[in-house]
Amino acid sequence: MNCIKSCILGIVIIAVGSQICNGQIKETAQLATLSPAVFVIYSDHPEHYEKNHYLLSTIGYMGSYMILESKWKAALLTLALGAGKELVYDGLFNKGEPLWSDMKWNALGVGQGVVFTVSLEF
């Protein structure tokens, strides 16, 4: 994990220190905002289903943002879908157990998407 952080820091230092145009620096910063998703994917700590909640919420948010063109509407829609899944699919249909932990990972995924879309505005 420290190796990945060092690599990202090195890329940013090289990009800033060299004569790269502003567009490339902006793209590098935007890609750096997606690096937490890489950490979650390759981490051993979150369970498989927690990774799924995080990544599906991130992807769902970004898809909703492309359609709705509003960060907050997309965030609310994605969180509502996650809560609906927990309440209806897990709770009412007894296909699983509704957990606050799942909603935590949904919220983290939406937060990841919001950070990325905010970085697009700079």
Residue that wins the pLDDT comparison between 97 and 114: 114
Q: What is the pLDDT of residue 106?
A: 96
Q: Pick the residue with more confidence: 48 or 23?
A: 48
Q: What is the pLDDT of residue 110?
A: 96
Helices and strands in the chain, H and E counts: 6, 0
What is the Cα–Cα distance from 76 to 70, expressed in whole angstroms?
Answer: 10
- Helix, strand, or coil (residue 68): helix
- Of 48, 42, 74, 45, which is closest to residue 59 (Cα–Cα)? 74
User: What pLDDT digit, counting tens, does each position of 58-105 carry?
Assistant: 999 999 999 999 999 999 999 999 999 999 988 888 888 888 999 999
More confident residue, 102 or 2: 102
Contacts 24+ apart (CB under 8 A), 36-44: 36/112, 37/112, 38/4, 39/1, 39/4, 42/4, 43/1
State the pTM of this model. 0.76
The per-residue pLDDT for 9 is 62
